[in-house]
Amino acid sequence: MKLVRAIALATLALLATGAMAQDKYPSKPVKLVVGFPPGGGADVVARLIGTHMSAALGQPFVIENKGGASGFIAGSAVAQAPADGYTLLLGHVNALAIAPPASSKPPYDALKDFTAIGYIGFAPNVLVVNPKVTPVKTLKELTELARAKPGELTFASPGVGSANQIAGVMFMNAAKISMTHVPYRGSGPAITDLLGGQVSMNFDAMTSVTGYIKEGRMQPLAVTTRERNPQLPEVPTMQELGVKDFDVSIWYTLMGPANLPKAITAQLNETLNEVLRKPELNERLLSLGVTSKAMTPEQVTAMLRTDIGKYAAVIRQNHIRMD
């Protein structure tokens, strides 16, 4: 009997140990889905965060690129994934706050179909012109030129429903000018045509244009965030130049499917905020123009709700449709 009891107790102990091992998160690789192709700003940010999260949690963070449809493909994949913490999304302003209100049939509700985990950081777009084609050096000069040639100046973007297009539309509304939007399939072709003189200007990510600015091939006029960026400290903000309440930032968040367990959400948020305090990660993000910022899941949800409302109003007012 003593032997049977000992075996039973040992079995219970093993089962309890197995259950604890299963409950420990993460116990296998975590997939981080990115809605943009490899090599772009979002992909680089995801790989940096993934590397540091992996080191902190002891499991690989595997980057999976699902580009296309302004991030809808990646967002849909995560929204439909099991809420177990092993499929996460690199949240992006385009996919969560702009594309849904610009679509007649969005594949998800950004507030209902995801769990906000944490905030990574934000970066400005930069309003740039090709000085050989559009010979202006200030936003005031550009505005005066646009008023003198209504509808003739063109601004490029990586697609309808992008933050780049929204920035251009908001500028037109504030300055009471008329310009023509030229959408492309990504930032690469838009920048190529700006350098080639096919379009007048572009609101594009710092990572995409900083090199050309330093080479003198692009003239920066303003950044689209509320504060100047440390990588281009001499470039003023749109608000400094008199465009009231202008703030269009490219932000990145960490998201999971809806109903992600609170314990996993809290663990991921704590780990993300911890790695964002590392100087080496901050410096690398800043080199990309991204200013990191820690947030709680509740703060991320509140920010998302505010931005959806802000951009939905611009989209309705200007009849912007992706489909």
Report how many domains make up the chain: 2
Residue whose C-alpha is closest to residue 237's, from 225, 254, 248, 245: 225
Mean pLDDT of 246-268: 96
Half-sphere exposure of 293 (CA within 13 A, CB side): 15
How would you classify residue 27: left for phi > 0, otherwise alpha for psi between -120 and 50, otherwise beta? Answer: alpha
Look up the pTM and report it.
0.85
Burial of 67 (0-12, 13-18, 19+ CB in 10 A): middle
Report d(CA 160, CA 146) in Å as an integer: 21
Specify whether the CB–CB gap between 79 and 106 falls below 8 A: no
Residue after which a domain boundary falls, among 204, 223, 242: 223
* Residue 135 identity: P
Residue 182 falls inside a structural domain: yes
pLDDT in tens, 132-165: 999 999 999 999 999 999 999 999 988 888 899 9
Question: Quick one: what percent of the chain has pLDDT higher than 90?
Answer: 78
Q: Identify whether the C-beta of residue 300 lies closer than 8 Å to the C-beta of residue 117.
A: yes
According to the model, what pLDDT value does residue 18 have? Answer: 45
- The radius of gyration of the chain from alpha carbons, rounded to an integer in Å, stands at 23
Average pLDDT value for residue range 87-99: 96
The pLDDT tens digits of the residues spanning 98-128 come to 999 999 999 999 999 999 999 999 999 999 9
Mean pLDDT, to the nearest integer, of 54-62? 97
The number of C-alpha atoms within 13 Å of 183 and in the hemisphere containing its C-beta is 13
Please check whether residues 169 and 202 belong to one and the same domain.
yes
Same domain, 94 and 153: no
- Residue 78 belongs to a domain: yes
Checking if the pLDDT of 14 tops 90, the result is no
- SS3 of 267, please? helix
Task: From residue 151, give the alpha-carbon distance in Å to each of 148, 154, 172.
Answer: 10, 8, 11
On the question of pLDDT at 17 being above 50, the answer is no
Q: Does 235 fall in a domain?
A: no
82 plus 128 within the same structural domain? no
Are 131 and 100 in a shared domain? Answer: no
Domain ranges, residue 310 = 30-122+250-317
Q: How confident is the model at residue 235 (pLDDT cuts 50, 70, 90)?
A: very high
The contacts of residue 78 (CB under 8 Å, 6+ apart) are 33, 87, 88, 89, 114, 255, 256, 257
Q: Are residues 203 and 254 in the same domain?
A: no
How would residue 15 be classed by pLDDT, with cut points 50, 70 and 90?
very low
For 259: left if phi > 0, alpha if psi spans -120 to 50, otherwise beta; the answer is left
Is 97 found in the same domain as 133? no
Q: What is the mean pLDDT of residues 75-91?
A: 98
- CATH number of the domain to which 256 belongs: 3.40.190.150
Per DSSP bridges, beta strands 114-129 and 30-34 are unpaired
For residue 21, the model assigns a pLDDT of 43
The mean pLDDT of 289-307, rounded to a whole number, is 96
User: At 86, which helix (H) or strand (E)?
Assistant: none
Residues 161 and 137 grouped into a single domain? yes
pLDDT at residue 288 in the model:
87
Model confidence over 159-169: pLDDT tens digits? 888 899 999 99
What sign results for the dihedral spanned by CA atoms 96, 78, 160, 147?
positive
The two tokens of residue 50 are 């993934």
| Residue that wins the pLDDT comparison between 245 and 167 | 167
Give the span between the Cα atoms of 258 and 269, in whole angstroms.
15
The whole-number pLDDT of residue 7 equals: 52
pLDDT for the residue 20: 43
User: Rounded to whole angstroms, how far apart are CA atoms 270 and 32?
Assistant: 17
Task: Say what the pLDDT of residue 165 is.
Answer: 93
What DSSP character marks residue 66? -
Model pLDDT, residue 213? 94
